[in-house]
Amino acid sequence: MTHFTRTTAVRGALPVAAALLAAIPTTAQAAGLTGPAAPVRAVARTAPDAPVRPVSRVARAGAVRAVSRTASGAGFAGDWMYVAVTAGGTRGALLTCDPPRGHARAADACAELATAHGDIAALPTQDVMCPMIYAPVTAEARGRWHGRPVTYRHTFANRCELNARTGSVFALDG
């Protein structure tokens, strides 16, 4: 009988604890870096001992600016962009187009950017059916195309929508 009483007490405490945790703002929300309806993202693991931790907006923006300064200071000739995709964790690559390299589909990405004159927002949208599952993915790019600075940032509803609207540019996985 005591066992059932304890189980009932624990069951009643879980909804209360969940409500209290939901009412406490996260550190990012308290700092004003996310909206009140920001989704909770799961943290993926690439290996048992190597956790992938989410990167804050401030750290991610600083990393994009640092890579941009390094690349422009290193005297990259030709067209280049630092591209990053954030979905739980952040992955990024330095895409160079003279010669194409930086990620698995660099040649395709450079060809697509060439047809859009370096404007990621002007890339042609692929005609695909994407599921209506909300799993936000943020794509960011910063670099130079034919000597002019390029900056791009957009949050898509899911990875399918990202791939349909940006082609190979943010296909960091291949």
Break the chain into its structural domains and give their ranges.
2-34, 52-166
User: What CA–CA distance (Å, rounded) separates 38 from 142?
Assistant: 24
What pLDDT band is residue 68 in, cutting at 50, 70 and 90? very low
CATH architecture for segment(s) 52-166: 2-Layer Sandwich (3.30)
What average pLDDT does range 106-118 have in this prediction?
95
Tokens of 134: 């909300």
Amino acid at 161: E
Q: What's the predicted TM-score (pTM) here?
A: 0.57
What pLDDT band is residue 85 in, cutting at 50, 70 and 90? very high
What average pLDDT does range 24-40 have in this prediction?
44
DSSP state of 3: H
**Residue 3 to residues 6, 8, 9, 123: CA-CA distances in angstroms?**
5, 9, 10, 63
